[in-house]
Every structure is written in structure tokens, then in C-alpha cells.
A and B are shown apart, each in its own frame.
Chain A
């Protein structure tokens, strides 16, 4: 497996909307905490250290 950097999310506009909706009503601090929980949850799902390392690089 390599890190997918091509479009991979079905209905991108719908997903983006859901992501923003999750932050509605949250203060900046709460949003930051939410993002951290989301990152950790997704990282655990991926699990593969090579992919995670590539993602850390790609996001720079």
C-alpha cells in the first residue's frame, strides 16, 4: 500500500459539508480538541506506519 493522493472520497462536497458540520457550535478550543481526536482515530484505522509517515510528509 502507498498513500493515496488521488481523489478517493465519493461525493466530495457532501463529505466536506459533514466535516464542517461536525465543528458547528464548537469553540476554537473545542474544535482543536475535536480535530486531534479525529486525527488519532483515523491514524489508528490506517495503522500502517509507512502510510502514516507519508501522510505526515504530504500534509506539510
Chain B
């Protein structure tokens, strides 16, 4: 039997019996456990590079519930590179304006003021099941084009044994058990990772003593497409904070912060939830519009991470490795960045172009990213749920001042929205010999910019690239069997100049497959680029 742990929104990879279930034990280069956003993105990235990926999921589709609803530009840029973003942006709700309220008062309004010259918006709201569906759609397209990706639904890992060179897995299916082996096992199986548990690894951090009630309601309402956040909301029984945010399909996400001492069963009672939602909606609309409860859930949250994301040939990515509070949309977004960091490194290692030790840098880079996300999300949580009298006094002082004076508004923290980290000072990056803009220093992700009729990131297709801006000449550079091709931009757009040149007349950037800047120079220098390329795949210190 394969236990059903949760309901699914829809089937994406129904169980099908495969010959491997009865034949000899097969060894796969990469086995990914968990078909959520992280596992699917990783499989798609690997498969498009020609490296075989097998995804095992103990269910056959996306779990029910909107869950991660806020997908950030970096995630959409990654999805664009993987060919899956168009349907996400089409379906998703694009929003820029947020309003912050304290009690009855409207404190202030903010506008994310999208910068011009990016293909993707700063954020979209999209229910997680759709995100997963669009990734699976693109996996199906890639499979048709020959990408070696396989997803096996209702294949549950029941036991594992780690050897030096591989991991042996016991799999349970509706047709009984079978065995397989993984050269690399990637655990993308979520915050309650069964792989982590089977390995007896700890997952330490801070549990926040609070409960949040999510009510997704379906209604035709003419509230604007804005993020509304209340501290100490004025409507009855709404708890210490509340959030109203729009999703596709006329669904609105409403969150209520209920505190720690609650009766979970009682609070999930539909009538009780309706009373809260009625109070909120009538306070905004004057009366209660017709609506239906689409999905409800109560969650508490933790901020924690594994000490290291790599344990031999087993690597952890996404929520299995690190968990953050939901404020700031740093869960799924950071997990997809894990997947993209890991994909090109695994690909090079499996093709024999890089040493296995390159995968150590997956762990160190993404552990740093996780720490940054945990820091941001813990700070937001401390602001939203003050833990002492004095912290509450200061919090309310900030809110009070924010209504009257602009200076206090940046201190209001209801979640700092997800941006990728910059790997400052990490081993695989540098040098930086260009007096260029800070935002494109080595370690940073490449910001998008218009190029001809399209966008820069469309040209950074998942390989190493040399970006040659201005009138200098450059040729492709090969080092250690890896070639970085040249993208020439003789007449840069104003946005591209601002983001990549600053006051410099020309620039040469080396960019790695995950669109992070490796190094940059004022002019082309083949030897310097070859050395930086070699260093960027972990072969620098010899």
C-alpha cells in the first residue's frame, strides 16, 4: 500500500507500472524524491541538459490547497529559462500595490514600482498546484523532444541504505515493492522529509508560537488587485494580523493570525471561519458579498535548517533542507533557486566535466541563501508577533509614526519579499576588475534588460556565457572541456547600460549556467576568462 497523506488538487503523474518493477535492479544517475516545485524544476533543468532524472512521488499530483501563492521574479526568470513561465504569468495575478493598515487606520500604501526592461513582473500570485502543473506540462514537452526525464507517481520510498558510490532504495507502489539505486539522491520531499528522517538527520531552529488560519474564498468582489495587510485588525475575532490577497480564479487568500493558545479543531469549524471572514469582508465592502470557502487550513511555522545540505551522495533541496515563515514568500522561491544551483553542478559532475567536490559548493552557497532567508523571515515574524512588552511598544510606535511620517515606513515589516542572495566572497567567483554597478558584481544574479526585440536573460540559456558589452571584440573561451560562448551587445539599451556598465564604456562578464555573474572585466582577456571559468567549476585551487 502507498499511504495517502493528503488530497490532491489534480493528477499530474498517475501511477503506471514500469518494467523496472519486476526486472533487475536499475541504477539511475539522479533520483529525485518529491514532485513539488523544487523536484520538478530540478528534473526539468537536468533533463533539458541531457542528464537523466527520475522523480519519485508518493502521490500522483499536486497537493490540494493554494499553499505557496507568491512567485517572485527570480523564480519566473528560472521558469523562463526552463520554458515554463509563459503559462505561469498568463494565469497568475500580477500585483504591485500594497496597503498597510493598523486598526481602523490606513497607514500607507506602497507600490513595488516595477523597473522597466524586465520580461517578468516582480511577483505573481498563483496557486502552487498550477505552478506544479505548468512545470509538468513543460516536462511532458521536453520528454517528447527526447529529454531523459521520468516521473513515477505513487512510488513511495520506504527504506534506504547509503553506500559510498550510491544509495539503495526500497520503493512501494500499488503493485507492490521494488528496488532501485541512485548515484545521487536528491531529497525534495518537503519540510517533513522522510529521507531526512530515515537518515536520522536533525532539523534545528526556532519554532514560532503562533497559529495562522488560511481561508481561500471564492467570490466576485471588486476589491482592487492589491495586498492588504492589517496589524491589529479592527474586525471581530480577526487576531493580531490579517492579510487579503488575490489569486487567479476569483480566489482570495485571507490569513488571520490567531495566536498560540487556540483549539485547532474548533477554529477549523466552517461556521466559525465564516464568521471571521464575514466580519472582515463587511468591514471593507459594507456588506458581506456572496462567497464560498474554497480551502482552509491552520498552520504554525518554524524557521530552521539542516546543518549541511549535503550528506555524501544524498543532497537536500527546498523545504526538506530549510524552512522559513511564510512572510516574504521565501519558501518555494528559495527552493527553486536551490534546484537551479544544483542542476548545472550535477550535470557537469555526471558528465565528468567537474569533480564531485563541486557539489560541496551547492551546499555552502545554498546554506548561505537559507540563512539570509531565515534571517529576513525571522525579523518579519518578530515585528508581526512582538515577543516582549518593549518589542510591542516599539512595534506600535513604528506603526503609529508610519501613518504620519514617511521615515517610519521602511521599518514596518510584514515580510520582505523574496530576492535572490548574492554569493559575495564565495570560492567560485571573481575577479571583479570592472568599476561597474554593484547589482551586477560577481556572485549576483543577472538582472534582466532589453536586448534588441527581446531580453538579455533569453540569451543566458543555461550554459556558461561571455557577455561582451560595447565595441570590444571577444571570442568564445574553452577551459577544462567547457566552452563559454559570446553574446555580443554592441549597442546596449539604456537599462542594460545602467545595470551592467554604469560609467564604464564597455565590459566583459562571465556568467554561469544559473545566471549568476562569475567575474567581470573592463575588456576581453582570454587567459583571465579561462582561469575564472576553471575556478568557477571548482578547479581553481591546484
CB–CB A32/B407 < 8 A: no
Q: Does A22 contact B (CB under 8 A)?
A: no
- Across the interface, which residues of B come within 8 angstroms of A26, CB to CB? none
Chain A interface residue count: which class?
Answer: under 10
B394-421 interface bits toward A, Cβ cutoff 8 Å, 1 = contact, 0 = none: 1011101100010110010000000000
Q: What separation, in Å, do the CA atoms of A41 and B411 have in the docked complex?
A: 12
CB–CB A37/B407 < 8 A: no
Q: Does B393 contact A (CB under 8 A)?
A: yes
- Across the interface, which residues of B come within 8 angstroms of A39, CB to CB? 394, 397
CB–CB B408/A36 < 8 A: no
Chain B interface main SS type: helix
CB–CB B411/A36 < 8 A: no
CB–CB A32/B408 < 8 A: no
CB–CB B408/A33 < 8 A: no
A36-B397, A37-B400, A41-B407 are known; give 11 further A-B pairs, CB within 8 A: A33-B393, A33-B396, A33-B400, A36-B393, A37-B397, A37-B401, A39-B394, A40-B394, A40-B398, A41-B401, A44-B407
- Across the interface, which residues of B come within 8 angstroms of A44, CB to CB? 407-408
Chain A interface main SS type: helix
B interface vs A, CB < 8 Å? 393-394, 396-398, 400-401, 405, 407-408, 411
Q: Which residue of A lies closest to B393 (CB)?
A: A36
Q: What separation, in Å, do the CA atoms of A44 and B407 have in the docked complex?
A: 7
Q: How many A-B residue pairs have CB under 8 A?
A: 25
A-B contact pairs, 25 of them (CB 8 A): A32-B393, A33-B393, A33-B396, A33-B397, A33-B400, A36-B393, A36-B394, A36-B396, A36-B397, A37-B397, A37-B400, A37-B401, A39-B394, A39-B397, A40-B394, A40-B397, A40-B398, A40-B401, A40-B408, A40-B411, A41-B401, A41-B405, A41-B407, A44-B407, A44-B408
Q: Which 6 A-B pairs have CB atoms at the shortest separation, nearest pair first? A: A36-B397, A44-B407, A37-B397, A36-B393, A36-B394, A32-B393
Q: Which residue of B lies closest to A45 (CB)?
A: B407
A18 → B minimal CB distance (Å): 20
B404 → A minimal CB distance (Å): 10
Q: What separation, in Å, do the CA atoms of A30 and B396 have in the docked complex?
A: 11
- Across the interface, which residues of A come within 8 angstroms of B397, CB to CB? 33, 36-37, 39-40
Q: What separation, in Å, do the CA atoms of A51 and B408 have in the docked complex?
A: 19
A12 → B minimal CB distance (Å): 26
Q: Which residue of A lies closest to B408 (CB)?
A: A40
B387 → A minimal CB distance (Å): 16
A27 → B minimal CB distance (Å): 13
Q: What separation, in Å, do the CA atoms of A44 and B408 have in the docked complex?
A: 8
- Across the interface, which residues of A come within 8 angstroms of B394, CB to CB? 36, 39-40
- Across the interface, which residues of A come within 8 angstroms of B405, CB to CB? 41
- Across the interface, which residues of B come within 8 angstroms of A40, CB to CB? 394, 397-398, 401, 408, 411
Q: Which residue of B lies closest to A29 (CB)?
A: B393
Q: What separation, in Å, do the CA atoms of A37 and B398 have in the docked complex?
A: 7
Q: Which residue of B lies closest to A37 (CB)?
A: B397
B103 → A minimal CB distance (Å): 14
- Across the interface, which residues of A come within 8 angstroms of B393, CB to CB? 32-33, 36
Q: What separation, in Å, do the CA atoms of A2 and B435 have in the docked complex?
A: 30
- Across the interface, which residues of A come within 8 angstroms of B401, CB to CB? 37, 40-41
